[in-house]
Structure 1
């Protein structure tokens, strides 16, 4: 049995679908049962649990041999950073109770960096906590998801300006489609056990892309010219806090400072394995620009 925590999300659903296609049993663990229909349709067993209720989460995991976890960022929470910390601790407690043979944790590029670089550092904390479990741990560090550009695509189509914190706008950075990440996770779960207590694997798309590349893809898909424009560093805090709480803004600011510096939000030096997805940027953005 493979238990997928957050199976209704982009990554979780992709993993669940691939596992079901391979013919193995999947338990989809959801916070909101109203999102269960498409998972039931592909043959998943459904369980519900709140990520911050360790007892209910342990019960939902039950007798699963392997568990995939992903920590959601809740931008509408009063303090998203604190919510992340609480989720990490709750997940640890639940997994310690359930004691699955294997845990696959979705992490972040840059989680190996000791300095505080915002969001990747939260995942560094996740990795450190899960390493205390008495189980085989697979850490799948992900490049930034391509669909994150969906937040600013409507503005780019309407105004011709794609605002970005990436500076310079021609610097290519690692990114991956959520669908590909889920497929890679499923493949790792299905492969024979390595016998290692801890494995760290990185995943990114077939190519690296810059903000200019994103603007070019939006232009091609929409038929309207869009150009990338870096938001001045002095305006980041004010710009972000228009839509998200300060604690989340601070995590993103530190992460983007590290990305723009280069070499930090990256594959860890001497990494043993890197997986590459196949979805191009334009194909990942297509449903965001041209929704069905």
Structure 2
């Protein structure tokens, strides 16, 4: 049977595809431009778009399981609802949906509120799905590594409550494990939720300390100025998205991203290995930067 992966060329989607291929799954990926997809051999790549109903109907034909990942775009909510309605129409009874942790708490943050709306649809329409709820992707910090390395400042305003940051490689592997579990189950299983978190819940000061230790020099925490954060983001993303990210960072400050007591243990058992830590991530970047200087 066939597993359809949406968002297959993104940071998480690529990891999901690779992990599924590694496990011998029959993978179909829907992408906007197959010529640029560059996915592993054996993956069936189909051209399509989550707002193009005909292409999505075609992509869903003969599919048994769907991995639904929606990018942060203005019509993310619409894309997700269309995809789920078409999956239901096609008789797909096995779904894994990538939501976000605290989607029910960060109610004023557009891309969180949209994902919570999708979760409500999944439940009310009686779809058989696993809802994966990842915390902050530590790999997002690749975008600010030059600030850390070049200016000695960790600039993300994440505050003092703490974020249970997770590596996208762990997200991809857990998603693949869950997709295979649903795919191979005798019948559809009911809705379940899994918080995807890292092994540590880290504050801004904690992360600055990790960078200081890894680099062998002092890295300062840049502080909690979400307004300045928004203005910086507007230099390389649309204003609506920069504002969305500002609203998210404000909830970091007030609420954090705090895991449930058994989340990390559950994921460690699922993976059969330890979760990747932020220190691992920072060490990889530091080693790569050092190698680039030689």
Structure 1 residue aligned with 2:245: 252
After TM superposition, list the pairs within 5 Å mapping 1:128-147 onto structure 2.
128-133=120-125, 135-147=127-139
* SS of the residue 2:40 aligns to: helix
Match of 1:181 among 164, 167, 171: 171
Contact 2:226 2:249 in 1 (8 A): no
Match of 1:204 among 188, 197, 200: 197
Q: How far apart, in 1, do the equivalents of 2:201 and 2:187 lie?
A: 30
What do residues 207-241 of structure 1 show as CA deviations (whole Å, max 9, x unaligned)? 22232343344445555542221142443443333
* SS of the residue 1:125 aligns to: helix
* SS of the residue 2:30 aligns to: strand
Change (3 A) 1:15 1:236: closer
What do residues 145-189 of structure 1 show as CA deviations (whole Å, max 9, x unaligned)? 111111211112111112122123xx4311111110011111112
Contact 1:96 1:133 in 2 (8 A): no
Gaps in structure 2 of 5+ consecutive residues: 269-273
* SS of the residue 1:18 aligns to: helix
Contact 2:224 2:253 in 1 (8 A): no
* SS of the residue 1:7 aligns to: coil
Q: How far apart, in 1, do the equivalents of 2:188 and 2:227 lie?
A: 49
The answer to whether the aligner puts 1:105 opposite 2:104 as a matched pair is no
TM-score, normalised to structure 2, is: 0.82
Q: How far apart, in 1, do the equivalents of 2:186 and 2:131 lie?
A: 14
Contact 2:157 2:204 in 1 (8 A): no
Match of 1:228 among 199, 215, 221: 221
* SS of the residue 1:230 aligns to: coil
CA RMSD of aligned residues (A): 2.8
Q: How far apart, in 2, do the equivalents of 1:173 and 1:218 lie?
A: 16
After TM superposition, list the pairs within 5 Å mapping 1:159-178 onto structure 2.
159-168=151-160, 171-178=161-168
Match of 1:150 among 142, 146, 165: 142
Q: Shift of the alpha carbon at 1:193?
A: 6.0
Structure 2 residue aligned with 1:77: none
Q: Shift of the alpha carbon at 1:123?
A: 1.1
Contact 2:227 2:246 in 1 (8 A): no
* SS of the residue 2:63 aligns to: coil
Structure 2 residue aligned with 1:281: 278
Greater percentage in strand: 1
Contact 1:118 1:252 in 2 (8 A): no
Structure 2 residue aligned with 1:48: 47
TM-score, normalised to structure 1, is: 0.83
Contact 1:110 1:268 in 2 (8 A): no
Change (3 A) 1:3 1:195: closer
Structure 2 residue aligned with 1:83: 75
Aligned length: 279
Q: Shift of the alpha carbon at 1:83?
A: 2.7
